[in-house]
């Protein structure tokens, strides 16, 4: 079955320079959508992407609610009414809660939770005006299971998840669907940056009983495309009666769906 509902549609993607974000931009474009792709200016400078008639790259700090609204407006001015949105921007933080400086806690919450508020609000308002739309927010399986050494990140992603579900409830009457993807360990720079050596992938797959962390039953890490393909389903017409769902895409690592 081929997914439908993308051809000629306008899509908005944050975190587009990251592994999952790049995969999303590629799949949306291949499916026929026109995409305004955003990321932090530093990330765009490192990637140096090129815009064309189907994908327009623009800088965005997701903490800036006014800037998020302006970028959504730009997407609509360039490509037409917004109907598809993917919020993939976010940052990782590691370390025990007792060792987490207040400034680091604030940074993580502002980007992950605050960014979801700013971007979700901007996309939701545009879709509500048109009476239709679908958005997917990339959260984490850490939002639903305690992680030693990841308190700030897990708390921020739990906020991301609940905020998106509340937004989905509020926008349902306007025909707007809001769903969450909760990836597990995925082969992105965010993941590999935590590894000290080449055995990192093996240790994640096997798990670590001492840190109360299960392994991955499927025996492999996700690729960015695995996550992006799941997001494409949630955005598609085939998922037209799904909203407020929290889909775990983690190879069974959290032993929940």
Angle between helices 151-171 and 115-130 (to 10 degrees): 10
Instruction: Judge whether 179 and 244 are in contact, CB under 8 Å.
Output: yes
CA dist list (Å): 142 to 59, 105, 185, 253: 28, 16, 10, 10
Nearest by Cα to 208 from 144, 139, 141, 148: 148
Active site residue 117: no
DSSP states of 33-87 as a string? Answer: -EEEEEE-HHHHHHH-----SSEEEEE--TT-HHHHHHHHHHHHHHH-SEEEEEE
Q: What radius of gyration do the chain's Cα atoms show? A: 17
Residue appearing with tokens 């959260």: 139
DSSP letter assigned to residue 112: I
DSSP letter assigned to residue 95: B
Choosing from 12, 57, 79, 153, the catalytic residue is: 153
Q: Reduced to 3 states, what is the DSSP secondary structure of residue 185? A: coil
For residues 107 and 241, give the distance between their C-alpha atoms in angstroms, rounded to a whole number: 35
DSSP letter assigned to residue 137: E
Which residues belong to the active site?
153
């Amino acid at each position: 079955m081929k997914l439908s509902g993308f051809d000629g549609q306008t899509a908005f993607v944050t975190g587009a320079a990251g592994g999952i974000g790049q995969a999303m931009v590629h799949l949306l474009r291949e499916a026929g959508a026109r995409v305004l792709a955003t990321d932090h200016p530093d990330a765009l400078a490192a990637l140096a992407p090129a815009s064309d008639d189907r994908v327009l790259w623009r800088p965005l700090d997701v903490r800036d609610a006014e800037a998020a609204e302006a970028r959504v407006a730009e997407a609509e001015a360039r490509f037409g009414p917004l109907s598809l949105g993917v919020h993939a921007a976010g940052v990782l933080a590691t370390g025990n809660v007792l060792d987490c400086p207040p400034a680091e806690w604030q940074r993580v919450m502002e980007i992950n939770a605050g960014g979801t508020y700013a971007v979700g609000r901007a996309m939701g308002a545009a879709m509500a005006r048109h009476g239709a739309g679908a958005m997917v927010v990339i959260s984490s399986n850490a939002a639903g299971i305690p992680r030693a050494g990841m308190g700030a990140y897990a708390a921020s992603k739990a906020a991301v998840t609940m905020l998106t579900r509340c937004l989905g409830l509020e926008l349902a009457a306007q025909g707007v669907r809001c769903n969450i993807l909760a990836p597990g360990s995925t082969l992105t720079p965010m993941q590999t940056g935590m590894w000290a050596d080449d055995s990192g992938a093996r240790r994640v797959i096997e798990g670590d009983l001492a840190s109360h962390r299960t392994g991955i039953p499927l025996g492999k890490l996700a690729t960015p495309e695995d996550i992006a393909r799941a997001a494409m389903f949630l955005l598609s017409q085939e998922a037209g009666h799904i909203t407020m769902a929290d889909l775990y895409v983690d190879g069974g690592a959290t032993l929940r769906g």
